[in-house]
Amino acid sequence: MMNKKSKIVLVGGGSTWTPGILKAMTTHLKQFPLEKITLYDIDEERQKVIGEFAKILFKEEAPDVKVSYTTDEKEAYTDVDFVFCQMRTGGFEMRDKDEKIPLQHGVIGQETCGPGGFAYGLRSIRDMEKMVKSVRRFSPDAWILNYTNPAAIVALALDKIFPKEDKVLNICDQPVNLLRSFASLIDFDANDFEPVYFGLNHYGWFTHLYDQTGKDRMPEIKDVILNGGFRPVDAEQRDQSWLDTYAMVEDMLRDFPEYLPNTYLQYYLYPEYKLSKMDPNRTRTDEVREGRETKVFNECRRIVENGTAKDSSVVHNDAHGDMMVEVAASIAHNLRKTYVVMVRNNGIVSNLPDDSMVEVAASLGANGPHPYAVGKIDTFYKGLIESQHAYEKLTVEAYMEESYTKALQALTMNRTVVDAKKARKLLDALIEANKEYWPELK
């Protein structure tokens, strides 16, 4: 079965993350053999730079794999086995507004959390719905692996819009990034962890990290963090904002020592503190534009000009690319490896709503995810998750019903906002900024 070669389309092919994914594909060919890769993006200029780089990379490292790029969805989606989706509706222009408009109103500006994530979510749902319908028209049996943010809202929306769809899998790389970083603290191979995890996307906790012998390594990882802090395993590649984000794990662990938290929880647990550290005139968007965006595109242009990628120090495997390829391989070849993914709850966490899209460990094979039961969770975590689920559900319902009231309720529910008067001012400002992308809220 491992000899079967897959045909892939990568949606959002002009992304700065695409070179790392392509590099991961070349290094995982034995695990995940490929016949064809198509890059698809609506931004022709960005797509061409990354597409030409892709042709050079595969000519040098995997010449038998066919590589093309297109802005035509029929060409992209016809006769494919897997769709890797990482679109960003509105691009960096709208991300900039997602981060800066909330800050102008005294609220955290972050692309997936709070009002920024709300705005991004309402933009993403429309394009994600269109993408699923288009894929099903041209490749009815393809697996859609979605990494589009904000993944929690997107996953919930897709589950509501396509309740019988069984070949859409929503997944995030942050649990994998954390596992790699935890492993580096104790000189351990992250692939050998058996994680136990529960929550919503960007809103969860590791409860156990077992090794091959069945020993829980979490106590010693906690001890290392509490005595020496926490940095990402790839710290040398990270911007300062990410180093600050990882450092906050120590704070969360001191206050709530039971479990190891997802880094994004800091925005909900310490909103005033995080707000105080943000510059309303310079956000993460500016950092990415000046850093990764410039670096990756300049390097890809240089590679295209020189005709070789062999001397590149920028284009390398990362957790994001490795995870996307390994997840597809586990499904394509029925490997049944364990990953943290998003699935409809249906009793997995027994005291949370069945319709919530929980993020838990699951075995992944040809028939999709088989999640591991979590059981009951304690009051503190249950309360936090139920509040966040209510916010996410109201956001999706606001989109589907074109409801201003539900949008206002959603923002008021969010722990980074809370105040209804502030929520209304924010909502009105975000409506104005997103006129081209949101449904008209009545």
Q: Read off the DSSP letter of residue 88.
A: -
Question: What single DSSP character describes residue 113?
Answer: S
Cβ atoms of residues 198 and 358 within 8 Å: yes
Known catalytic membership, residue 173: yes
Residue 188 near residue 217 (C-beta atoms within 8 A) = yes
Among 173, 203, 267, 322, the one annotated catalytic: 173
Q: Which of 16, 3, 2 is nearest to 318 (CA)?
A: 16
CB 286 within 8 A of CB 434: no
Helix H, strand E, coil C: the string for 203-253 is: EEEEEEEECCCCCECHHHHHHHHHHHCCCCCCHHHCCHHHHHHHHHHHHHH
Per annotation, catalytic residue among 40, 69, 197, 264: 264
**Annotated catalytic, 259?**
no
Q: Which helix (H) or strand (E) holds 85?
A: strand 82-85
User: To 10 degrees, what angle do helices 91-104 and 114-138 make?
Assistant: 150
User: Could you tell me which of 1, 142, 8, 135 has the C-alpha nearest to residue 62?
Assistant: 8
Contact (Cβ atoms closer than 8 angstroms) between residue 120 and residue 98:
yes
Query: Which residue in the block uniquely carries the two structure tokens 């500006």?
Result: 109
Q: Are strands 368-371 and 357-365 parallel, antiparallel or unpaired?
A: antiparallel
3-class SS of residue 345: coil
What are the residue numbers of the active site? 173, 264
